[in-house]
Amino acid sequence: MEKLIITAAICGAEVTKQHNSAVPYTVEEMVREAKSAFEAGAAVIHVHVRTDDGTPTQDRERFRVVLDAIREACPGVILIPSTGGATGMTPEERLQPTELCPEMATLDCGTCNFGDDIFVNDMPTMRAFGKRMLENNIKPEYECFEIGHLDTVLGMAARGEVPGAPMQFNFVLGVNGCTPATVGNLDYLVNKIPAGSTWTATGIGRHCFTLAAAAIGMGGNVRVGFEDNLNLARGVPARSNGELVEKIVRIARELGRDIANPDEAREILSLK
Ligand code: KMH
Ligand code: ZN
């Protein structure tokens, strides 16, 4: 099996310090959390940004400062800024980090419920995001929260509306109102991706480690981090993103998967 790429989603847009006091807002806190995850074995950091008071923002300059600071603290790390932002943001607002031409960025593959909110990714929005990523040579990480999202984006790739093969998918399962985080659902999705694609599994909340273990065994990659899960185990808050990554490394070692460093991850993701 290929080496395991671990992504750390260190911040997200929804969780706050009220949920876990280690959730990062400031640039310094973002760097601290990215470094803890990187040193524990994450080759990829998925980045959302906040203002210092914790408000989610997609401000291009905030992204520039945070991405540069993480790059300096974590040499070689792969950064995947979010174009999802938070529910309720406009497509224009969300697209700002793509102006910085990162090597990758997320591209969300359809509208869905998101807790009590609706996360809007209609076809015109997705076409605009695909066009921007084609123009700026950004490899999307296709985020699928629902089973139908995969078909949607495969159709778009076939029509040349978004970047095509080799595609990288992130199956984010277990968001309230979306496809549940079961091994059966993950298996269904993985069996539908084109040969030569790569994929990552993200289990939300208490499903984080069971879905990760399944993905490790199936030959996929794993995302963890405060965006998705705040606890190391039931009732045990993680003190850092690094602790969540360390647990994935322990599971992977037990299952015989080696961990990819950023260079190896770039090779696997066809970034070079
Ligand atoms: N915050 C969610 C509404 C992404 O990063 O592209 C969307 C999200 C997806 O986190
Ligand atoms: Zn995200």
Q: Look at the alpha carbons of 229, 68, 27, 62 in this order and tell me if their dihedral is positive or negative.
A: negative
Work out the average pLDDT over 62-82: 99
Q: How many CB atoms lie within 10 A of CB 62?
A: 18
Give the distance, in angstroms, between the CA of residue 12 and the centroid of all CA atoms in the same chain: 9
For residue range 165-202, list pLDDT tens digits in order. Answer: 999 999 999 999 999 999 999 999 999 999 999 999 99
What pLDDT is stored for residue 243 in this prediction? 98
Which residue has tokens 């480690």? 209
For residue range 214-262, list pLDDT tens digits in order. Answer: 999 999 999 999 999 999 999 999 999 999 999 999 999 999 999 999 9
Measured by CA distance, the residue closest to atom 7 of ligand 1 is 84
- Residue 172 CA, closest ligand 1 atom number: 9
Q: CB of 58 closer than 6 A to ligand 1?
A: no
Residues ≥6 apart with Cβ < 8 Å to 176: 113, 114, 115
Residues ≥6 apart with Cβ < 8 Å to 93: 58, 85
What pLDDT is stored for residue 267 in this prediction? 98
> Ligand 2 centre and the CA of 52: distance in Å?
18
What pLDDT is stored for residue 76 in this prediction? 98
For residue range 102-148, list pLDDT tens digits in order. Answer: 999 999 999 999 999 999 999 999 999 999 999 999 999 999 999 99
Q: CB of 228 closer than 6 A to ligand 1?
A: no
Q: CB of 38 closer than 6 A to ligand 1?
A: no
With H, G, I as helix, E, B as strand and everything else as coil, classify residue 246. Answer: helix
Percent of the chain whose pLDDT exceeds 90 = 100
- Residue 117 CA, closest ligand 1 atom number: 3
Q: CB of 114 closer than 6 A to ligand 1?
A: yes
Q: Ligand 1, from 7, 104, 119, 153: best to mutate by most atoms within 8 Å of Cβ?
A: 119
